Structure 1
Amino acid sequence: MRRVWRDENGERHWVRGDSEQEIADKIAEQKFKIKMGQDKIDGKMTVKAWAKNWLHEYIDPRAREPGEPKKRGTMTQKSCDMYHQKTDGYIIPALGHYRLCDVRDIHLQKLLNTQKGLSDSHVKKLRIVMEAMFTQAFNSRLIHFNPAADLELPAAESGKRRSLTDYERQVILEVAKTHPHGLWVRFLLATGIRPGESAPLQVYDLIFDDPQPRVKIYKDIESGTEDRVSAPKTEAGNREIPLPQYIIPDLKKAVAGKPKDAWVFPFKDGTMLTETRLSNNWQSFLRQVDLAMGAETTPNGHIYDPKDRLSNGKPKYPDPHDPKKPRNGHKVAPDLTPYCLRHTYCTDLQRKGVPLNVARYLMGHTNIAVTANIYTHNGEEEVVMAGALIDGLAFENTAKKGKAADA
């Protein structure tokens, strides 16, 4: 007996068996293998099937355990997650339905070009993942040429950090009044600390009873780990930051009655925030900011996203003005990250006239040139302020000359 069936991509599969039960069992086995990316390993498999197989066999085994010494050929779990994120979020939605042997360089270049204007880091990482994925397919002799060999990077932002716009600050502070993670976001903006430095903060790190209330910063989540706490990378990371008066009452309320060794910003079960939890907290907060800015949603409340694709790669929610393009309902800027809060803090220091060397200490920068780079990002407000100071200086010089003449 012979039976033909089609998978979700419309590809036909044949099975043979002596009974209906044997055929049913073989079909179930084939479906499982396809789901796991273990079906026929050749150029006719889909990009989605190869991507899943490639991640499982070539990327996941290279991830180091937290605290494990660095070895050649290994990567941190954070890097491993990046490969999954770029694959699942960009490559599979756009190219997953193609047969591996049918992918050409133009397909990959088009995908890269759709990322034009996003961060330089994101675009480069996406190219790295595509190059690694298709190079391995070529080396494994699944395809006769490597379509990712000479991809060109589209124009992208250079990756410079930026401050919040006045509108973003206004919306963020408004959302923070009611969002569960609002105090955490306000604290990052009020102190300029790195997100990873906020996770291991404990109640005894907050000093309220001094003439100048402050927070002690001397711990961070170790890079590439989820919850391994270590000292800052450099001595400059050890610092004490003054707490603004406007946030102290809410901080005191949040830690009231807690043990001295309790986390200031705990997870809902009372444990410490990990890198993943920090990211989830920000994404939850950012979604509310997006909605507050007027994000467009489905009737179920899902914000239309360009990554929403069907299994054949076509937009799940077509753009009303161009059905070939996916609908983008986001109103929040794609480069709005927690580090924008830190950059804004440094910019605020400049606007308040805090000396550069003091700002370097508060930011925890080893090299004062890093701080100076932020201080030199002057906008219209700084130009107007400089003009007023120059006018004042000219008046003072004229007044001094007049007094000298009178004498």
Structure 2
Amino acid sequence: MAKYKKRKDGRYHTSITLDGKKYELYSKSIKELDKKVIELRVKYEQGLMLKSPTVLFKDYKERWFEAKKPMISAKSIASYQSILDNHFTRIDYMKIVDIKKTDVQYVINDLIDKPNTANKTYMTLNQILENAVDDDILNKNPCRGIKKPKIETKEKRILTDEEFYLTEVADFNDREKMFVIMSKYCGLRPEETRALTKDDFFINNNSGYVRINKTVVYVSNKAIFQQFTKNSSSIRDIPLFANILPFVRYYLSSIQTNKLFTNLSNKKDEYMSSQSYKWLIKKIKDKIRYKAWELKIEFNEKGFTAYTFRHTYATLLYYSGINLKEAEYYMGHTDSKMLNQVYIHLDKQALRENNSIEDYIKNKLILNKQTIQSKTSVQDSVQNQIEIEKVT
């Protein structure tokens, strides 16, 4: 096992000798350094160690990607493939050693009107060139010092009180209702809900929970089953609230397949396709809209997605008094960054709507007024007594 040493700059360092050549590896954490050691050994075993200063970027990126594939999900593979195929034409036929900071900046500038894609492209290029440094092809990563493009953040929409009620009374069929329940009252990501099976539910007479440990994602409209979640923190047990337990128990007993959400076709035991999923969400939205029209309740469809239910679940945790650490577990987050923003926002909202300060000021003014009136009354009484004594 490699020995790690912490440097003065805070980074960890180790060296590995392969076939008589020494490789120096650096990272910010031991976990990340462990990963680099494993990747280096895998590449060496597969004969992917490109050391020639004449190697072209297009050849190196392909070798890098082949080594990375076994360690990432199907959806990530598709995302990386799209970036590698479409956004490095400027530097594909350049030698790795000739790529300068300016060339990297031009690659990013080409995507100035697509900030999210620019961010992914930068992150991918940074990984590839860091790898080239580890392989002793480059002395320095030309991505260093370049400002990472900011991701366009979308406001996390939640259900309004009226919409929350609409999702309770809309005329969903059993399949639609089960999807809404698992999203709204368990906070599951869509890819987690799509992967649910009967075996994931543990229910007794009065309580129960659902275990989240797998996902179904879509690549080129094809359903891909993955025996893992978004991250290690996403593996979790979510309690089933008393208000949904009877329906969950009924739904599990009513379906014929082990999978909860399958294609509505002859192939009954296959996970639902991308088209089938889109149709499910469309029907849910349509039925909410129709019930809103029927009850004359406002329903603003702008920004409404399957994630709206999950974001609403985060607010339910807040108002239920669940602390941030527990909420992080229930939501399946690796850190509390997103939830912290939600909690801070709701705290600020509560403060804005809080009347305690205003009530205190009102009470203080009333008390002051009563005190002044009392003092004035005493003074008047004393003055009157003095006047009486003068007369007598």
TM-score using structure 2 length:
0.47
Considering fraction of residues, name the structure with more helix: 2
TM-score using structure 1 length:
0.46
